[in-house]
């Protein structure tokens, strides 16, 4: 999809990090950008920052885990902008570190509510109008964890695998329907963002206390810090994603130094298939 003046892009989780960088890059291309986020003050600051750079920008407070709220958001965008050309389902949370046996129902409900249902709600609420116009592009932001399986992030890893599979299903359905709308799923590695601090937005009803001993958590955090290395700048990620959109890439990878992790998983699948021959 060629990005150009006059198009309208919707970006969820746009008040900071990857979402803000994507909105900024799209606005720099001349697109009207509609920001959504659950954090009111941060969202207004993001809107003001982009507007100050001459970008046409609108902002809506929206909890993507709330189906009715996303429906209302989509209706408001169509009423105001008349269309949506690019939908970026970026909103996501990191969940809580620890082994699976220490996880609690609230951890799963919160992580899947935002990371999976947030994407599903975005597709359900925005895609019908795009289908009527027979034009557009849907981008779902997953994670490299959606193609691998790092330990101690069970709910997050499972949710990002779900986003990848959801995106594959959506792309296949659109192709079978003869629709020109394309789908991309982004699977980045470590990027500068506030996802590690996402517990700040966890609903009180889903709040839980960690069952993992503090000393164990400290070792897990140290291991992640050593393994992840220096995070990518959000602006660099955004540029890679925009290139992927314009080249109609389905799977957008951003960290070539981590490709070996995906290849190792694929090798396991390949060995299993050869064992069945």
| Residue 269 in this model has a pLDDT that exceeds 80 | yes
Segment 265-270 shows an average pLDDT of 95
pLDDT tens-digit series, residues 173-222: 999 999 999 999 999 999 999 888 899 999 999 999 999 999 999 999 89
pLDDT tens-digit series, residues 93-148: 998 999 999 999 999 999 999 999 999 999 999 999 999 999 999 999 999 999 99
Report the SS3 class of residue 64.
Answer: coil
pLDDT tens-digit series, residues 3-30: 999 999 999 999 999 999 999 999 999 9
Residue whose structure tokens are 């090798």: 267
Q: 173: buried, middle or exposed (CB in 10 Å: 19+, 13-18, 0-12)?
A: exposed
Structural fold of domain 8-275:
Rossmann fold (3.40.50)
Closest listed residue to residue 242, CA positions, set 40, 94, 86: 86
Segment 235-263 shows an average pLDDT of 96
User: CA 59, CA 24: separation in Å to the nearest integer?
Assistant: 13
pLDDT for residue 224:
86
Is 156 part of the annotated catalytic residue set? yes
pLDDT for residue 76:
98
| Residue 228 in this model has a pLDDT that exceeds 90 | no
| Residue 244 in this model has a pLDDT that exceeds 90 | yes
What the block records as the tokens of 167 is 């995106």
pLDDT for residue 163:
98
Residue whose structure tokens are 């503090």: 214
The answer to whether 197 and 39 are in contact (CB under 8 A) is: no
pLDDT level of residue 90 (50, 70, 90 thresholds): very high
| Residue 227 in this model has a pLDDT that exceeds 90 | no
High-pLDDT (> 90) share of the chain, %: 94
| Alpha helix (H) residue ranges in the chain | 17-28, 40-51, 67-81, 105-115, 117-133, 154-176, 214-228, 234-246, 259-275
| Residue 277 in this model has a pLDDT that exceeds 80 | no
Report the SS3 class of residue 187.
Answer: strand
| Residue 37 in this model has a pLDDT that exceeds 90 | yes
- Torsion angle (degrees, nearest 10) of CA 192, 197, 200, 204: 130
Report the SS3 class of residue 85.
Answer: coil
Catalytic residue among 156, 188, 234, 253: 156
pLDDT for residue 194:
87
Closest listed residue to residue 84, CA positions, set 21, 24, 36: 36
| Mean pLDDT, the chain, integer | 96
pLDDT for residue 226:
83
Q: 115: buried, middle or exposed (CB in 10 Å: 19+, 13-18, 0-12)?
A: buried
pLDDT for residue 55:
98
């Amino acid at each position: 999809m060629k990005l150009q003046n006059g198009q309208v892009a919707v970006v969820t989780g746009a008040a900071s990090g990857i979402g803000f960088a994507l909105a900024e890059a799209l606005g720099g291309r001349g697109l009207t950008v509609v920001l959504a986020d659950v954090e009111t003050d941060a969202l207004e600051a993001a809107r003001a920052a982009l507007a100050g750079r001459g970008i046409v920008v609108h902002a809506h407070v929206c909890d993507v885990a709330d189906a009715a709220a996303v429906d209302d958001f989509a209706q408001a965008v169509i009423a105001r902008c008349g269309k949506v050309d690019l939908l970026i389902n970026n909103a996501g949370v990191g969940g809580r570190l620890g082994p699976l046996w220490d996880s609690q129902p609230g951890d799963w409900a919160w992580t899947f509510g935002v990371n999976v249902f947030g994407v599903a709600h975005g597709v359900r609420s925005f895609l019908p109008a795009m289908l009527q116009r027979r034009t557009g592009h849907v981008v779902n932001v997953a994670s490299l964890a959606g193609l691998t399986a790092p330990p101690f992030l069970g709910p997050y890893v499972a949710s990002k695998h779900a986003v990848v599979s959801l995106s594959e299903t959506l792309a296949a359905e659109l192709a079978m329907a003869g629709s020109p709308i394309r789908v991309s799923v982004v699977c980045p590695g470590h990027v500068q963002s506030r996802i590690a601090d996402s517990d700040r937005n966890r609903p009180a009803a889903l709040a839980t206390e960690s069952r993992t001993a503090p000393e164990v958590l400290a070792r897990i955090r140290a291991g992640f810090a050593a393994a992840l290395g220096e995070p990518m700048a959000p602006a660099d990620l955004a540029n890679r994603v925009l290139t992927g959109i314009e080249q109609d890439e389905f799977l957008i990878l951003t960290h070539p130094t981590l490709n070996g992790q995906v290849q190792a998983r694929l090798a396991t699948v390949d060995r299993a298939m050869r064992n069945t021959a």
